[in-house]
Amino acid sequence: MNKDLKRLLIYLALSFGMTFLWFLIAIPRGETWNSMGTELQSFVSLVMMFPVIAHVLTRWITKEGFKISGENSMRLGISFKNKKWIFYLIALILPWIYFEMAYAFSLLFIKEAFDPKAYEVMGISKEILFILPLDFIVLGAIGCFAGFGEEAGWRGYMMPKLFSLFKGKKIPALIIGGIIWGLWHAPLTCIGHNFGTEYPGFPFLGILAMCLFCILIGIILTFITELSGSIWPAAILHAVNNTNPSILKIMMNPSKADPVKELIATWGGLMISIAVFAVIILIIWYNRNGAKRSAV
């Protein structure tokens, strides 16, 4: 068996095994995400650390070593040389951009949900309304260790192995990687974390949608990891993404729209906006590789 394939299978067995076992142990039967208290949600969210634990265990089992940075490393190093600071800036700002685009797209579909005064119901002061995304960005950057748990596994270990197995062919590796990552989220999807539980085709359509989402955002996360040589920009972007930074979001009142229609509009808008950036990144990546080949 190919050495990288063997290592990848060990990593996936560990990350999926720990995750699915955790859900069996940690979540009471019949519990959903929205019915959980904050403490139980936080406890369940520790699952985000399993990919990096699986990464460390796989390196220990396979004797790959624990090199911090460079080729075949854990990609934990931080460098701002050769304009790599740009990727940290992208990680901070890009989620805000694509979330604003996402809610703009969704409001085209559910115009009835637009409510410029919705923030008042949430107890948000008008004076701080337009600096809230900055607050979310700062909170995401500070809390990037939550994103680190996943990114140190998926981008730090899985994707390099997939690129090796596909001999550098990015698109098939990114698609397979996104599907794997989406399936890893299946237990969360089954308890209604991202999409709730009241939609047609639950939970299978939710799992399918999560796989598509992971393919698209995985392109962005892998791009900034590959070019920066570090998982930290991806960890930051992942954490900022999870805060949903957006002004338009605060001007939406979901109660004014049909719940299923609102779910489709919100996630459809997010998929479209992220897909725009994913396509741009693939074009940049293709042109970059083409320029390298022509220089050889």
Q: Report yes or no: 104 and 248 within 8 Å, Cβ to Cβ.
A: yes
- The mean pLDDT of 94-102, rounded to a whole number, is 95
Long-range contacts of 166-173 (CB under 8 A, 24+ apart): 170/282, 170/285, 171/282
What was the pLDDT predicted at 135? 72
Give the per-residue pLDDT at 294.
39
Q: What is the pLDDT of residues 256-279, one digit of tens each?
A: 889 999 999 999 999 999 999 999
pLDDT over threshold 50, residue 295: no
Residue 169 DSSP label: -
How many Cα atoms within 13 Å fall on the side-chain side of residue 223? 24
Domain total of the chain: 1
143-152 tens-digit pLDDT: 677 789 999 9
Write out the residue range of the structural domain in which residue 223 sits. 3-295
CB 127 within 8 A of CB 29: no
- For 105-117, what is each residue's pLDDT tens digit? 998 999 998 887 7
DSSP assignments along 117-148, one per residue: THHHHTT--GGGGGGHHHHHHHHHHHTHHHHH
Q: Is the dihedral of CA 63, 68, 70, 74 positive or negative?
A: positive
Q: How far is CA 196 from CA 106, 241, 256, in A?
A: 18, 19, 18
Q: pTM for the full model?
A: 0.93
Neighbours of 91 (CB within 10 A): 28
